[in-house]
Amino acid sequence: IERLLGPRFLLNLYIAGAVCGSVCFLAHKFFMVRNSK
């Protein structure tokens, strides 16, 4: 995959995954706090 697409694509994929993961984590914490009240 790296030889076909290049390291830039892998870097973008990694960054997108990290951003999505943190956003999902924050949203989950936010909803847990809202539901506990």
Asked if residues 2 and 10 have their Cβ atoms less than 8 Å apart, the reply is yes
The domain segmentation of the chain, as residue ranges, is: 2-36
Record the pTM: 0.59
pLDDT of residue 2: 62
- Determine the Cα–Cα distance for residues 3 and 9; give it in Å rounded to an integer: 11
pLDDT of residue 4: 79
- Determine the Cα–Cα distance for residues 28 and 33; give it in Å rounded to an integer: 9
Cα→Cα distances 32→18, 19, 27, Å: 21, 20, 9
pLDDT of residue 29: 95
Q: Which residues of the chain have pLDDT under 70?
A: 1-2
